Amino acid sequence: MSAAKNAAGVFESGDMGAVGAVFRGAEITQISPGPCTVTRRFVSMNGILCFRSHFSQRLLFDAQTSDDYYMFLVPTALSSEIEYFGQRLGRSRIGYSAPGTAVDGLTPLDSNHLTLFVPKTALDMPGATPLHDRVSEDHVFECDTAVVQRFVDHAYSLVERCIDDPSMVEDSAGRRVLESRLMGGLLTCADRASEHDRARSSRSRRAALGRALHAAERAEWKIGTAQLAAAAGVSQRTLQLAFLDRFGVSPTSFLRVRRLNGARRDLLGATPDETTVQAIATEWGFTELGRFAGVYRGFFGELPSKTLRDGAPHPVPGVLALA
């Protein structure tokens, strides 16, 4: 796709070849029977193409974006749920394809939607994170319906105003203002999507953490991180993030701390006549006594042999222990 001239107008056709001209190597297949009409009300400015589209029939898109352009697709009616790479778009979900990547969509009957083609240079600023790395889900990002609706309303208004008064896109200063407002709305959606994804990821990690802690407790904290991740139903990377979010340490460190505390409780509750440091250390999964003693001292400030020898501190006379 090449940048079109600055213009605004209405395009209507039943020629699928003409409809797909904005894509590279587009193949558009009509799925439902009957005459097909595609109507696009559009504005083109500074290389940005904004379409307000209506497709009368079900159409299957198989295409690829230009190496220099992002594509965005937003359904604009509740009845116009579009499938994009097998995922349902809605009025809170925006489909997108990064530059030089595939476009795979299926539109329903009487589909109404907003389509934008935006140059990389308008979105990916030098030194900034590329847009497709700022939203987590492949080909779809989601944010509040109200935010998306405000963006769509603004884009529709812009298209209609430019069609009514084409001089708006003929003036370079006017184009810059229109472009700034349009890109501002799109980036707001993307930023809100990033917040939405982070919140959803946080909730997912909290749930995974709960499953992991339950499994670890059942195993008396003597479980490896691979088994723990499997029990939680997540990857080891997700498990790592969950523990760092909640406790500030890795799963391995957290499990070791829990076992150290378990060993300390047993040492405090025993006497040298009943058991040994080695027996308690082995019970809690520490097989190297010298290493256990060093880690224990580093954490609790005394050797495990001293803990066993001294036992639990005696209560202060006259002070009641509250249960």
Give me the torsion for CA of 2, 185, 64, 98, rounded to 10°: 110
Q: Is 323 within the bounds of a domain? A: no
- Total domains, the chain: 2
Q: Is 207 within the bounds of a domain? A: no
Domain endpoint, select from 157, 172, 200 = 200
For 108, other C-beta atoms within 10 Å of its C-beta total 20
- CATH number for the domain spanning 262: value is 1.10.10.60
Percent pLDDT > 90 in the chain is: 27
| The overall pTM is greater than 0.75 | no
72 shares its domain with 195: yes
Reply yes or no on whether the pLDDT at 316 is more than 50: no
187 shares its domain with 295: no
Contact present, 141 and 99 (Cβ < 8 Å): no
Q: Please give the pLDDT value at position 2.
A: 46
pLDDT digits (tens, 9 = 90+) for 214-238: 999 999 899 998 899 888 888 888 8
Alpha-carbon distance of 42 to 268, in angstroms, equals 77
Q: Please give the pLDDT value at position 138.
A: 61
Alpha-carbon distance of 110 to 88, in angstroms, equals 16
Query: What average pLDDT does the chain have?
Result: 82
- CATH number for the domain spanning 127: value is 2.60.120.10
Q: Please give the pLDDT value at position 320.
A: 38
140 shares its domain with 265: no
Domain that holds residue 300: 253-310
- State mean pLDDT over 61-76: 86
Report which listed range, 72-76, 130-134, 143-147, 251-255, is most confident. 251-255
Q: Is 220 within the bounds of a domain? A: no
42 shares its domain with 127: yes
Alpha-carbon distance of 42 to 10, in angstroms, equals 6
